[in-house]
Structure 1
Amino acid sequence: MKVVARTVFYAAALVGLIAMPHLISVKYYLHLSILALVWVISAQGQNLIQGYTGYVSIVQAGFMGIGAYSSALLGIHFGLPVWLTIVAAPLITALFALATGYPSLRVKGHYFAIVTLAFNMVIFIVLMNYTSLTHGEAGIPGIPKPGSKGGLFNFRDRETYYYFMVICAVGMTGLAALIARSRVGQILVAIRQNEPMVTAVGIPAWKYKLFAFVTSAMFAGFAGALYAHYQSFINPDVFGVAQSLDAILAVIMGGSGTIAGPAIGAFIVVFLPEVLRFADSFRLILYGLILVLATIFMPRGIVGLSSDIFDRLTRRVQK
């Protein structure tokens, strides 16, 4: 019964994503939907290290920044094709994650969170102050879009880029699902539940934690590259600690350790501040209050709450 309900939900979500450009009349909401799909990819990566492995990383936006700047600079300074730079961005991000992952993962709990927070701050400071390369706060304009020099699809058209983002988000969500349901995913969950036990039975837990951390960074790097080529402009402001906290909130709000949760949470994190613009003076206060209440009363996120409601209804029907 649950499998059928889950299948129906995923099918309805996919149909809704495909139909969305034809259902919304305000083009700004299509823009927000594209940004939400970028955050779906980043949140799925965050979920691998946070939801499945149990380590809260506060560097996801920093990795997005590395991916965004890598893709933009490779294209601008070396004249590489956009598609190649988008593919290269997560690989470059993975190298940074490898260099920092092992020493960071030697600590646990809130110490790991503090270390990754510091790393995000270092990335932000470098992006802001290494002006000869990143142009600092002025940012990098004129980042080309995929296919902007001709081709079958016009990626300058917002609707075309939206469908491209749907394909990317669905593909990366599918990849996250494959990892979660594989033997590696089972070991990650075991590490979250009882890491000393995993080590005691002879499994090198640090290798799997490093895998989750690097893979999470690759998701973020890919999302950052897609964001850069969509906006055609980047500066360090969108890759700070606050945005890394948004990735964490997307996972918590949607449902930590689930596949659908980060996708739902990403749309909430992007759309909720815009919905609250009617109370401009109190918008951030209301946003924070909603997040606090949701965390208290929905500790398992929207997916967990929905699952509980579905189980109760099923039991009543069976009676």
Structure 2
Amino acid sequence: MTRPIGTPGRASWKEEAVGMVLGFAVLALLPFLFNDAYSRHVLIMVFIYAVVASNWDLSLGYGGVFNFGHLALFGIGVYAYGLLTKLMGLDPWLALVASGILATAAAILVTIPILRLKGIYIILVTFGFAQLVMQVILSQSDYTGGTQGMVRIPGLYWFDHNMVRDGKFAYFFLALGLLAASTVFLRVFVRSRIGAGIVALRDNEEYAIARGISLVRQRMITLAASAFFTGMAGAFYAAYQRNASIDVFGMSLATIILSMVLLGGTSTIYGAIIASFVLTVFAELMADFGAWRPIITALLIIVVMLAYPTGLAGLIRAGWAATAGRLRRTAPAARPAETT
């Protein structure tokens, strides 16, 4: 099968699907290799961060929209799940989906004032939106717990299986399933005609508009598409941790997730997922370094970005290309057919 002109090295749908299935099959084996609950907890957090980071890459990397309110969508998912299950008594599984829908509605709402803005103005508006959501939650302390947060939030269930005392086995596969569903959606989205239109607006806005692509419609679709699984990740986080804290709106978490997007390489989706593994696991390994841990992590990010501006995804592509080239050079040349 020949590749389309202008997309050298781009995997076909079949190749990408096979690679995705193999990748998630390997991840599904991890809880059998790591029997302790703490290691599984770290992996669950990796999956949650990977969902949020890869969806941020959709609006930031592919859409070129620096949506600094993306973590507010995660926080909305966290508190929506807590309020729907604890105060309204909604079934946790329904609340999980409803949280994603509410985050999508919030994304559409914040899109309205930034439809025709550019650059720093988008950052200011979306940052202000995140602060507004946080202040609303703080002001409704009778329902949200204010600065104390919400505790004893109902968790997810699976028939009669005790998901609290199984060594985090069930939550691991639920988190992995959420990441798999999010990744499939994102990859199908960016390879669709809508995804091509979003990239066209990012690369040459004037030319794309002249060709009939609507800036308003595409920007709204981009932010809405990046919000649903982000909100569901927030809901899953609340169900898993059994609490909701105002810290989810803090700059600390935003910095971590943004570092994952940039370190992994924007406009890749897979890069953000890989970086989520690297940074989360690396931070756990550096736990004994105390205050030096964020400094060492920052140095790692700087070194990788200086060596490979396209991030870990670029590093992996370069390594794969070098390996493939070496194999081609060492492969024996085909012998010409003998003539009689």
Structures share fold, TM-score greater than 0.5: yes
How far has the Cα of 1:296 moved from its partner?
Answer: 2.3
Q: Does 1:201 align with 2:211?
A: yes
Write the deviation string for residues 199-221 of structure 1: whole angstroms up to 9, x where unpaired.
11121122111111112122211
SS in 1 for 2:271: helix
1:244-263 aligned at under 5 Å gives the runs: 244-263=254-273
How far has the Cα of 1:317 moved from its partner?
Answer: 3.5
Alignment partner, residue 118 of structure 2: 108
Distance 2:286 2:273 in 1: 20
SS in 1 for 2:76: helix
User: What is the aligned counterpart of 2:99 among 89, 98, 110?
Assistant: 89
Alignment partner, residue 6 of structure 2: none
Q: Which moved more, 1:89-98 or 1:264-273?
A: 264-273
Q: Does 1:272 align with 2:293?
A: no
Q: Does 1:155 align with 2:163?
A: yes
Q: Is the 8 A contact 1:53 1:188 kept in 2?
A: yes
Distance 2:251 2:134 in 1: 8
Alignment partner, residue 308 of structure 2: 298
How far has the Cα of 1:48 moved from its partner?
Answer: 1.1
Q: Does 1:186 align with 2:192?
A: no
Q: Does 1:77 align with 2:77?
A: no
Alignment partner, residue 55 of structure 2: 45
Distance 1:86 1:7 in 2: 27
User: Higher RCO, 1 or 2 (CA under 8 Å, sep at least 6)?
Assistant: 1
Distance 1:98 1:38 in 2: 23
Higher-Rg member (1/2): 2
Distance 2:54 2:97 in 1: 18
Alignment partner, residue 335 of structure 2: none
Unaligned runs of 5+ in 1: none
How far has the Cα of 1:192 moved from its partner?
Answer: 1.5
Alignment partner, residue 283 of structure 1: 293
Write the deviation string for residues 273-316 of structure 1: whole angstroms up to 9, x where unpaired.
21211311311211222222222222111111111222233334
SS in 2 for 1:55: coil
SS in 1 for 2:266: coil
Q: Is the 8 A contact 1:49 1:212 kept in 2?
A: yes
Distance 1:126 1:30 in 2: 34
Distance 1:105 1:243 in 2: 26
Unaligned runs of 5+ in 2: 1-8, 330-340
Write the deviation string for residues 84-141 of structure 1: whole angstroms up to 9, x where unpaired.
1111111111221111112123211233123222222222233234312211121111
Amino acid at match of 1:97: A
Q: Is the 8 A contact 2:58 2:269 kept in 1?
A: no
Q: 1:114 to 1:103 in 2, by over 3 A?
A: same
Q: Is the 8 A contact 1:120 1:240 kept in 2?
A: no
- Higher fraction of helix: 1
Write the deviation string for residues 149-182 of structure 1: whole angstroms up to 9, x where unpaired.
x715433231111111111110111011110111
Distance 1:2 1:27 in 2: 39
Q: Does 1:23 align with 2:33?
A: yes
Q: 1:152 to 1:187 in 2, by over 3 A?
A: farther
**Identical-residue share of aligned pairs (%):** 28
Q: 1:153 to 1:208 in 2, by over 3 A?
A: farther
User: What is the aligned counterpart of 2:75 among 58, 65, 76?
Assistant: 65
For normalisation by structure 2, the TM-score amounts to 0.87
Distance 2:131 2:40 in 1: 31
Amino acid at match of 2:81: S
Distance 1:269 1:103 in 2: 34
Alignment partner, residue 180 of structure 2: 170
RMSD over aligned Cα atoms: 2.1
For normalisation by structure 1, the TM-score amounts to 0.92
Q: Is the 8 A contact 1:47 1:251 kept in 2?
A: yes
SS in 1 for 2:29: helix
How far has the Cα of 1:5 moved from its partner?
Answer: 7.9
Q: 1:70 to 1:143 in 2, by over 3 A?
A: same
How far has the Cα of 1:256 moved from its partner?
Answer: 1.3
